[in-house]
A and B are shown apart, each in its own frame.
Chain A
Amino acid sequence: MSLQLQGIARTVGGSIHLHPVDALLEPGLHVLLGPTGAGKTSLMRLMAGLDAPSAGRILQDGQDVTGVPVRQRSVAFVYQQFINYPSLSVFENIASPLRLKGQERGAIERRVREVASLLHIDHLLDRLPAELSGGQQQRTAIARALAKDARLLLLDEPLVNLDYKLREELRTELRALFERRGAVVIYSTTEPIEALTMGGSVLVMHEGRVLQAGPTAQVYHHPASEAVAEVFSDPPMNLVNVEVTGGTARFPQGLELPLTGHLGMLEDGAYRFGIRALHLALRPKPGLPFLPARVELADISGSETFVHVHAEGLDWVVQEEGVHEHGLGEPVTVYLDPTRLYAFGPDGRVRAAPARGRGG
């Protein structure tokens, strides 16, 4: 089945939750990526039919389902909280949507066991949700959604309440599960990394709008605007105002960069250049242009160090491999790879993007 959104919007009491959205969603995985409050949940609720859109139409396989109540649609929903029936066993929880559809006993039994084994909870079928760990509870909720075999499966930040390890594990499993299904799967997340690992296609959302949609890797490498680049980078893309005259970009720190390659055809004028944290370096790299800056904060996360640096006109984050100690206020030299620079115009639209094929 396919899901088509025609200008659906939602306004609640004068405040706009969602600006008109147009999209055609084919079977497969679609990631909704955006910060908290971007309208991901609002959009998913409209898709499910839990809320009615203030404007626009929703079509399933070309049929208008805008006014059809949720219980008559083929929808399954997984929430960020672990939602299971508290007084029913795991088995009964997974079976509940099947029972309500009036399926026969043997078929239910088979289906529940099949889905439970996919999610590795087949040994927990007799337990009550409260007797499970968080990860197992969410597995149960996902199993309940999968058991239904709905044509539209919505997962609203399903892994956000799980710890890091479990999240990685489930993410990989889920991706494999979704690949085998003929349903439209919508998966929302605030994390760019999650969107990238899940693959499929992505809809980048910000402040109630869908900013860009397309295959995930393509959107990541070719963000259409500064806003998309910021949302789809973690840490957010580093930006700086530059002045381009006669094929040279003037950075605030007195750095003058002759423009070549993909930046070569930029016309004279004011731009904002963007570069991801991972294409900046603090260790000398021969031949690369550099800027002086001071360390504001060094944040060690796992086996990487995120160094927040400040200089007049820029506040950047540099991603370094390995664990590095940096003193506050320590002067550093930031090296940047000009082949990884994005150029955005004053309107925020992208003017030049690096060619693909050399990693993120």
Chain B
Amino acid sequence: MDKIENNKAWFLVLPVFVIVAISAIIPLMTVVNYAFQDIFSPQDRYWVGTEWFESVLADDDLHGALIRQFVFSFVILLIEIPLGIALALAMPARGWRASLALVLMALPLLIPWNVVGTIWQVFARADIGLGGWLVNALGIPYNYTSDPVAAWLTIVVMDVWHWTPLVVLLCYAGLRAIPDAYYQAAAIDGATPWKVFRHIELPKMRGVLLIAVLLRFMDSFMIYTEPFVVTGGGPGNATTFLSIHLTKIAIGQMDLGPAAAISIIYFLIILTLSFVFYNVMTRMGTGERA
């Protein structure tokens, strides 16, 4: 059969081109434009090369925000992933208790982020918040508006409360997908609960854990709403994470050039680390496909 030249085929891929262009490429290129030029108006703009990048990379405020951001994401992963696995293992497998546990677990995920922030902002207050008041009543001085450590603790506990359920739900789904025969085989072998976890449950959960780690890393690395509502980045700069820092530069000071440069650095960090996580975790331990 002869090949038929038909330019109409372009119309079939056109929608995808338009959607990708509008949703991803054009906004991204706008940021790139701002990162390499000093733009006052569409007619009035100057090429600055890597000047913005050089200045923001030398900026101590950015270093501080970046370090805080890494520490925060690291702490979040370190707490939420093991805690999520442990809770998923402890959850009932079937019956009404399982349904109840699932509903309770899902609740924090259903609350809008700024509402979560507001809840904790009030709950943790030393003067009128139940949580903050109780801690102080127990004789532990606690005030997140003045003490950096207290502010960090508040944000971390809030994030654990808000997002561990996501890890739990993913792990729970992974656990339920393991055929009962595996557990029987382990029982017949005389395997200890630890061996069952290490050699059956953990490898079988690997696929969902990979998703959980990626999602929690990306989300925690981009955290903005909750600390913005609770501490506004304070006291001082104690809880100024990357996105809060970025917003300050872009909206607070209208330094669009440096803000665009930070955005690109920010984006590249997330992209690189997600890529690394993905590769490490898919190769780790077992040849089983995720």
Question: Residues of A at under 8 Å CB distance from B?
Answer: 48, 50, 70-71, 75-77, 79, 81, 83, 85-88, 96-97, 100-101, 127-131, 144, 148
Contacts and interface: CB of A to CB of B under 8 A. Distances in A.
B179 A96 contact: no
B190 interface: yes
Given A100-B195, A129-B288, 5 more contacts: A70-B188, A77-B184, A96-B199, A128-B286, A128-B288
A83 B189 CA distance: 12
B2 to A, nearest CB: 41
Contacts of A97: 188-190
Interface residues of B, number: 22
Given A128-B287, A130-B286, A131-B287, A86 B204 contact: yes
Contacts of A144: 189
Shortest 3 CB-CB distances between A and B: which pairs?
Answer: A87-B203, A128-B287, A71-B190
Contacts of A48: 188
Interface of B: 179, 181-182, 184-185, 187-191, 195, 198-200, 202-204, 285-289
A100 B288 contact: no
A127 B202 CA distance: 19
Nearest to B191: A100
8 contacts: A71-B187, A77-B188, A79-B181, A79-B184, A83-B179, A86-B203, A86-B204, A130-B289
Contacts of B195: 100
Contacts of B203: 85-87
Nearest to B284: A87
Contacts of A96: 189, 191, 199
Contacts of A75: 188
Contacts of B182: 83
A87 B187 contact: no
A101 B188 CA distance: 11
Contacts of A70: 187-188
B287 A83 contact: no
B65 to A, nearest CB: 39
Most chain B CB within a 10 A radius of its CB, from A75, A83, A85: A85
Given A97-B189, A100-B190, A50 B184 contact: yes
Contacts of B289: 130
B200 A85 contact: yes
Nearest to A148: B189
A85 B199 contact: yes
Given A48-B188, A100-B190, A100-B191, A87 B181 contact: no
Nearest to B179: A81
Contacts of A79: 181, 184-185
Contacts of B191: 96, 100
B200 to A, nearest CB: 6
A130 B190 contact: no
A96 B286 CA distance: 16
A87 B199 contact: yes
A4 B111 CA distance: 60
A79 B183 CA distance: 12
Nearest to A69: B187
Nearest to A78: B185
Contacts of B286: 86-87, 128, 130
A13 to B, nearest CB: 13
A203 B185 CA distance: 24
Contact of B285 (A71, A83, A87, A131): A87
A170 B285 CA distance: 31
A148 to B, nearest CB: 8
Contacts of A83: 179, 181-182, 185
A86 B187 contact: no
B198 to A, nearest CB: 8
Contacts of B288: 86-87, 128-130
B106 to A, nearest CB: 29
Contacts of B190: 71, 97, 100-101
Contact of A87 (B184, B189, B202): B202
B43 to A, nearest CB: 61
A332 B187 CA distance: 57
Nearest to B184: A50
Contact of B188 (A76, A85, A129, A130): A76
B136 to A, nearest CB: 48
Contact of B185 (A77, A87, A88, A128): A77
A335 B199 CA distance: 60
Nearest to A141: B185
A100 B179 CA distance: 22
Most chain A CB within a 10 A radius of its CB, from B179, B190, B202, B204: B190
Contacts of A50: 184, 187-188
Contacts of B189: 71, 96-97, 100, 144, 148
Contacts of B285: 87
A100 to B, nearest CB: 5
Nearest to B287: A128
Contacts of B184: 50, 77, 79
Most chain B CB within a 10 A radius of its CB, from A48, A71, A129: A71
Nearest to A80: B181
Nearest to A75: B188
Contact of A86 (B181, B188, B200): B200
A75 B188 CA distance: 7
Contact of A81 (B181, B200, B202, B204): B181
A81 B178 CA distance: 12
A161 to B, nearest CB: 12
A81 B189 CA distance: 17
